[in-house]
Amino acid sequence: MPIESSGLPLEGVRVVEFTHMVMGPTCGMILADLGAEVIKVEPPGGDKTRSLPGLGIGFFRSFNRNKKSVVLDIQTEEGLATAKELIGQCDVLLESFRPGLMDKLGLGSEALRALFPRLIYVSHKGFLPGPYESRLALDEVVQNMAGLTYMTGPVGRPLRAGSSVNDIMGGMFGAIGVLAALRERERTGQGQEIQSALFENCVLLASQHMQQFQMTGEVPPPFPSRISAWSVYDTFTVAGGEQLFVGAVSDKQFATLCQVIDRPDLASDPALATNAQRVAVRPELLKKLGATLLLQDLEALCAKLQAAGLPYAKVVRPDQLVHDEHLIASGGLVSMDTGDGGETQVALLPLLMGGRRPGVRHPLPVIGEHTDEVLSRLTTASA
């Protein structure tokens, strides 16, 4: 069966995915959105991520679009043989199992690349090789290890980021590695192993604070206790208990803000003439601004700030994004068939390519939906 023409940059690239949860599936989703044929290998009964409760309930829907589902039991001799045959027809393999499992099954990088030299093998791990490599990791584990929870919460109350930031970012770096390896394979004819890891991911997120320490010799304070570079860069409560972030990062912006909220006394105060002067008295200044903003209607204030060209943002919940006018108008939020008779709205990759957004081409696959289609090609190829 010929590969479906998509006109997308990775058309013709075939990927086999042995992953679950978030990091590996994110990598596969990015490649699929960009046009690769991504075959998700699920165990009998399906990927357990499909049935996670609570905060995990949206994982499968969020990170598995545009893929094909094949059910194989790679713990059996027959399933393992079929998996190897399928891998031999693919350009890229993605895996996110615990350290050592793929090697134990005979599906490790070294064994497979000896059989298939052009194969690009991508492992999504907790840690790159080193003293920590055998430890099990979760997003929250590495957020604590790499300083993110410390920087996010107030003093004495480390707080994780409210999303699977390292899992998602790890999938992104896995995909970046695939793109680079495909380009290198054009030159050398050889595949290679790629590793992407949660801990190293989070270290990159914390790198600006590491540099801050090395440049000043002072331990960076957590974000809620930070010494701000700007006098007005905060979230305020306005009328009705609504919350609004407002930033004024230059002297001109501060003057404009004072005009917008009708506080000419602050704009004309010589003790507040420069940003450095305002930062020196920041707590008192924020109290004065807060008292004024508390009387402001949210929508009316947003309209004034928009007209004045000042940076601002309502504090938005994820459920409100489903109706966000910009996401809808820009084509970044689209419908997807969930494969069970339902429909959902999904956020697309945050990029524009040649004026178009890589979107949803196929419904979310049901368990094993493409098993016959994909495995029949193995029979055809070996005939």
Tens-place pLDDT, residues 117-144: 999 999 999 999 999 999 989 999 999 9
What is the torsional sign of CA 80, 83, 87, 88? Answer: positive
Residue with tokens 């890589």: 358
Cβ-proximal residues to 31 (8 Å cutoff; 6+ apart), any chain: 10, 13, 15, 38, 92, 175, 178
User: Per-residue pLDDT for 353 more than 50?
Assistant: yes
5 pLDDT more than 80? no
User: Looking at per-residue confidence, does 323 or 4 come out higher?
Assistant: 323
Share of the chain above pLDDT 70, in %: 98
Instruction: Report residue 114 CA to chain centroid gap.
Output: 33
| Mean local confidence (pLDDT), 36-49 | 97
Q: What share of residues in the chain are helix, strand, coil (percent, to 5)?
A: 45, 15, 40
- Clarify whether 167 is annotated catalytic: yes
Q: Which of 47, 69, 49, 107 is nearest to 371 (CA)?
A: 69
Interstrand relation of 120-125 and 193-197 (parallel, antiparallel or unpaired): parallel
| pLDDT of 373 above 70 | yes
Sign of the four-CA dihedral 212, 216, 217, 221: negative
**Domains, the chain, ranges and CATH?**
14-205+330-382 (3.40.50.10540), 229-319 (3.30.1540.10)
Indicate the pLDDT class of residue 340, thresholds 50, 70 and 90: confident
Predicted local confidence at residue 380, as pLDDT: 62
Average pLDDT of every residue of the chain: 94
Cβ-proximal residues to 312 (8 Å cutoff; 6+ apart), any chain? 244, 245, 246, 247, 302, 305, 306
pLDDT digits (tens, 9 = 90+) for 81-101: 999 999 999 999 999 998 889
Q: What is the secondary structure of 265-302 as a DSSP string? A: HHHT-GGGSSHHHHHHTHHHHHHHHHHHHTTS-HHHHH
Give pTM, 2 decimals: 0.93
pLDDT at 207 over 80: yes
Kindly list the distances between the CA atom of residue 111 and the CA atoms of 12, 72, 87, 95, 142, in Å, as whole numbers in the listed order.
25, 20, 12, 14, 30
Between 187-196, 219-228, 267-276, 347-356, the lowest mean confidence (pLDDT) is in: 219-228
| Active-site residue, selected from the candidate residues 91, 103, 167, 251 | 167
Contact predicate 185/113, CB 8 Å = no
